[in-house]
Chain A
């Protein structure tokens, strides 16, 4: 039995992180930690050592881009896949942008859990096997 994958969810909205956590934990395959303060996000990542980070874009104090910059500076974290969760772009634009923000995949709110799960699985696969040729 493989150990549960750790997912760190960073979003300033506690109910948002709660829902993501509950839905992911429900699958029995993930251990989820919520972080609602972007300023603490880096420390949380260092402590929790996540396999995938779900990162909101627009947050008070510090936005998703700055958090990403912090994470990438840390050699132990820079390879952890990040999936942006955002309310600022439309589904139609995802295709146009190649589905990435700064090279990271993103999913627009609101989303179907099934879609998020697919993205997490893909991210985990890329992390372990390297990007698809």
Chain B
């Protein structure tokens, strides 16, 4: 063996020579020993405290040996102690080992080499023990000083360990915990959940990491971060689970509050966006209303202007018209002249119709109401457009309910409404088609026409007239505009764009409603709703 000499302290108070085997250690090839002998037992303590001592060899009677052992363990607990015994004193030697001696040797049996080896191993063993103690203390302090609760369970869910904090959390001593299961401490439902979590860890061999609600035995609700992992033996055999958990209630509540605040914020943001959108819409509406107002004012002044101009225009129209009539019958004319007269007559008629439209548009809107049959009005209007029906190759499909009640209406105005609607329908069928007119008394749904609920209560009966054509319908983007003054789908010279505006005005003056839509089967439908037997104030 190599290295520094071993400082060996021999405690031997006898007056005789030191034991021969000890003396012969000096020649041992096992190790180099530097021997110091102390006879005065009182000096031993001072020696170990002041001089380097690697090992102490006690050669004392049993009683003194025990006392010295105690003194040395107090004064220098890290110095290994070996006891020399006399023949047959085995019991005393074992007692000494129990009380902390590393080893014992029988003086009568041991030789120098054996003793040298024994002493050397005693030193090493003592060092290993101390290292183990330090390591244990390290891990113990680690487990016990952490602010987390730590436990271990076997495969059956029985606790095998719980650190101080865990015990405190459970309000139990380690002994009360070890050997018991979650079912001994928690309500059945919770214990089953913990058991299921453990099973998951056991079966998957993976970490289980979750924040969960934890009810303490005292009944407090906490939120804990739990990490469970499998526990393996040194032979890599699964022997149980271990868990570590700590209170994250404060953090959890803060996060929860944050989530709540975030959700609240998101909600408020959505509300804000909604409000913003509503604001934008109402701003749009306002602009629209403003535009309408401007348009309406413009129309009104146009109307007034038109009425004034109309009178002035009618005289020249009358002169031209009569002039044409005169020439037509007094001239020798050929085909060309005939065409010219026809074109001029038609132009006069058209100009006249535009003038009428303008005057109509601006005309006084007083009604002259009396009780009338709506069906009769429709029949009369059909007669008025008979020529247009024939020349436009439009056939009629008339289905007028015989059970209609009388309606309080202005016959001239309502007739004008139907003439307008029929003329529009005929014009919409440029290559011919079918004009279908249907009247019914039926309850209102509320979605028949815009603003209908202002004038009719849902469920209230109304006289409903449908005027359908088989034309090409109205482009969807133009549907809303058809009621605007001077809007027309007809070519230049074929409409004033005032017909439907005037029509709607008349219907609304009667307290009715009117809507236009495209039919699924093609063509347009005008739905006209009037109140049965109702006083209309003029």
Binding site for B on A (CB under 8 A): 13, 15-16, 19-20, 22-23, 26, 58, 87-88, 90-93, 95-96, 108-113
Contact = CB atoms under 8 A, between A and B. Distances in A.
A95 to B, nearest CB: 6
A110 B352 contact: yes
Contacts of B320: 110
10 contacts: A22-B322, A87-B312, A87-B315, A91-B356, A92-B412, A109-B314, A109-B317, A110-B314, A110-B317, A111-B321
User: Most A CB atoms within 10 A — which of B315, B325, B348, B416?
Assistant: B315
A110 B318 contact: yes
A57 to B, nearest CB: 10
B4 interface: no
B312 to A, nearest CB: 8
Contacts of B359: 90
Interface in B289-335: 310-312, 314-315, 317-323, 325-326, 329-330
Contacts of A58: 311
Contact of A111 (B310, B318, B356, B416): B318
Interface residues of B, number: 25
A92 B311 contact: no
User: Most B CB atoms within 10 A — which of A16, A26, A90, A93?
Assistant: A90
Interface of B: 310-312, 314-315, 317-323, 325-326, 329-330, 348, 352, 356, 359-360, 363, 368, 412, 416
A contact patch SS: helix
Contacts of B416: 92
B325 A112 contact: yes
Contacts of A108: 314
Given A19-B323, A23-B326, A26-B330, A96 B314 contact: no
A26 B319 contact: no
A19 B310 CA distance: 20
Contacts of B322: 19-20, 22-23, 110, 113
Nearest to B368: A96
B503 to A, nearest CB: 13
User: Most A CB atoms within 10 A — which of B326, B348, B360, B368?
Assistant: B326
Nearest to A96: B412
